[in-house]
Amino acid sequence: MVYREPEILVGLDLGTTKIAVVVAERDENMREPQIIGIGQAPSRGIRKGLIINLEQAVQSVKAALSDAENMVGFDVSAATVAFSGIDSTSVTSKGMISLGRTPRQVTIQDVERVIEAAQSELAVPSNRCTLHTIPVKYSIDGNSGIDDPLGMTGIRLEIELQSVIVPSSVIQNVINCVERAGINVQGLVIKSLASAMGSLTNEETIAGAIALSIGGGTTSIALYVDGRPVRLSVIPIGGDHITNDLAYVLKIPISKAEDLKQKLSLDPNDIEVETMELDIRGKQREVNIYEAIDVVRYRIEELFTEHISHQLSDFSVHMFPAGLVLSGGVAKMRSIDPFVSELLGFPIRIADPLDTYQMPPGRNDCQYASVAGIIRYMTNRERNPYRYIETPISKLRMGPSQIKGNVNKVRKKESRTSRNESIRSFVSAIKRSIKELF
């Protein structure tokens, strides 16, 4: 028997707080790849999910790669990359084709034709491109709920597509960053899809579920109905905003606010001491824990009531009986689950990465669900190429002259959004102080 080297699969997650790399291997006897290493490094040059300093981002990617390479003992050269996709839109379109006057079986060419028909309904602006195309519903002769139309018989085939449309500049910056770090980009996946793949079970996706990942700079949301994602969105708010609020309201440095945040519980009944002493540049400062919890609860409440509820507004709660599965670093906050469950009136569970038994110790919690999800995305796409259609990287590329302009655009936009953000948190803090007065 001829021995074949196992196939290596690599996923790279470009986060705002950390860059994570997953390495998995699969040999011919294995159905599922096995994760053999998770590397990571602090993320620099990425804010609210957007690359704002290419060189710093490249260095962070290199550091995360070498961490993974040290763990697995070999170099990696290619990866599928998850990125936030801020400003992306998740759009539904419909298509219909005739199969002829007399009923006949649906062929692969028909499936391609009906997908193209639905795609042609989309008006994609010239500075954007379609990254994912996901059939969410097929019907034959008006009978909906068809899981896979191939080989089924009828005279009319209809489809509903979910397309994720991303600014071309964002995609180009991601490809450019990873390639400069010496890695060939094999595929791209939006963070909301990678996180959902890493945290929802098949049963949950079929029953109907919401995957929510709250990271450092972004919150991504994926809504699943009948096993298919019917919405994939990213909101530019994450754990960093909570840290900034704490620093601002309690007048403490960001690093102290970050430490404090990670020690807090959202359930005031968990609190044993009312105040905490912080050493700030050699001076002792007393911080009121109840005040700190209020600040965190306020920001999380705002995220859910103003942003996430908006993403859910087109859907009925009854479409998601499996409830909400929470991942990302912020999901590690103590007692966040009962707090969010009460806010939304939904059952909620904190995601362990689905492949948790394969993950290395210390890198095996809800913060690593999205990087592990990249491997699941790769295998799912390979098995069902018509379920997760991804535009090839060669089509997503642009010329270097455009790249330069786009980097500048991204930076300008970033400074504007961060200014808006600080104004908003200033207003929120004032509102809070006013509430406390009365």
Ligand X SMILES: Nc1ncnc2c1ncn2[C@@H]1O[C@H](COP(=O)(O)OP(=O)(O)OP(=O)(O)O)[C@@H](O)[C@H]1O
Return residues touching ligand X (CB under 6 A). Answer: 15-18, 43, 49, 84, 191, 215-218, 238-240, 258, 261-262, 328-330, 332-333, 367
From Mg ion, ligand X, none, which one binds at residue 43 (CB under 5 to 8 Å depending on kind)? ligand X
List of residues contacting Mg ion (CB under 5 A): 15, 215
From ligand X, Mg ion, none, which one binds at residue 329 (CB under 5 to 8 Å depending on kind)? ligand X
Report the nearest approach of Mg ion to the CB of residue 84 (Å): 7
Please report how the helices 191-199 and 369-383 are oriented relative to each other, as an axis angle in degrees rounded to 10.
90
From ligand X, Mg ion, none, which one binds at residue 406 (CB under 5 to 8 Å depending on kind)? none
Nearer Cβ to ligand X (111/366): 366
Report the nearest approach of ligand X to the CB of residue 271 (Å): 15
From ligand X, Mg ion, none, which one binds at residue 88 (CB under 5 to 8 Å depending on kind)? none
Report the nearest approach of ligand X to the CB of residue 97 (Å): 39
Report the nearest approach of Mg ion to the CB of residue 239 (Å): 10
Report the nearest approach of Mg ion to the CB of residue 68 (Å): 16
Q: What b/e sequence results for 253-267 when a residue is b if at least 16 CB atoms lie within 10 Å of its CB, and e otherwise?
A: eeebbbebbeebbbe
Report the nearest approach of Mg ion to the CB of residue 329 (Å): 8
3-state secondary structure the chain: CCCCCCEEEEEEEECCCEEEEEEEEECCCCCCCEEEEEEEEECCCEECCEECCHHHHHHHHHHHHHHHHHHHCCCCCEEEEEECCCCCEEEEEEEEEECCCCCEECCHHHHHHHHHHHHCCCCCCCCEEEEEEEEEEEEECCEEEECCCCCCEECEEEEEEEEEEEEHHHHHHHHHHHHHCCCEEEEEEEHHHHHHHHHCCHHHHHHCEEEEEECCCCEEEEEEECCEEEEEEEECCCHHHHHHHHHHHHCCCHHHHHHHHHHCECCHHHCCCCEEEEEECCEEEEEEHHHHHHHHHHHHHHHHHHHHHHHHCCCCHHHCCCCEEEECHHHHCECHHHHHHHHHCCCEEECCCCCHHHCCCCCCCHHHHHHHHHHHHHHHHHHCCCCCEECCHHHHCCCHHHHHHHHHHHHHHHHHHHHHHHHHHHHHHHHHHHHHHC
Nearer Cβ to Mg ion (12/97): 12
From ligand X, Mg ion, none, which one binds at residue 195 (CB under 5 to 8 Å depending on kind)? none
- Tokens 């609020």 belong to which residue? 245
From Mg ion, ligand X, none, which one binds at residue 45 (CB under 5 to 8 Å depending on kind)? none
Report the nearest approach of ligand X to the CB of residue 3 (Å): 38
Nearer Cβ to ligand X (320/368): 368
Nearer Cβ to Mg ion (215/236): 215
From Mg ion, ligand X, none, which one binds at residue 113 (CB under 5 to 8 Å depending on kind)? none
Nearer Cβ to ligand X (263/412): 263
Nearer Cβ to ligand X (231/261): 261
Nearer Cβ to ligand X (16/133): 16
From Mg ion, ligand X, none, which one binds at residue 37 (CB under 5 to 8 Å depending on kind)? none
From Mg ion, ligand X, none, which one binds at residue 198 (CB under 5 to 8 Å depending on kind)? none
Report the nearest approach of ligand X to the CB of residue 239 (Å): 2
Nearer Cβ to Mg ion (10/118): 10
Q: What gap in Å lies between CA 369 and CA 353, rounded to an integer? A: 4
Report the nearest approach of Mg ion to the CB of residue 355 (Å): 17
Nearer Cβ to ligand X (37/154): 37
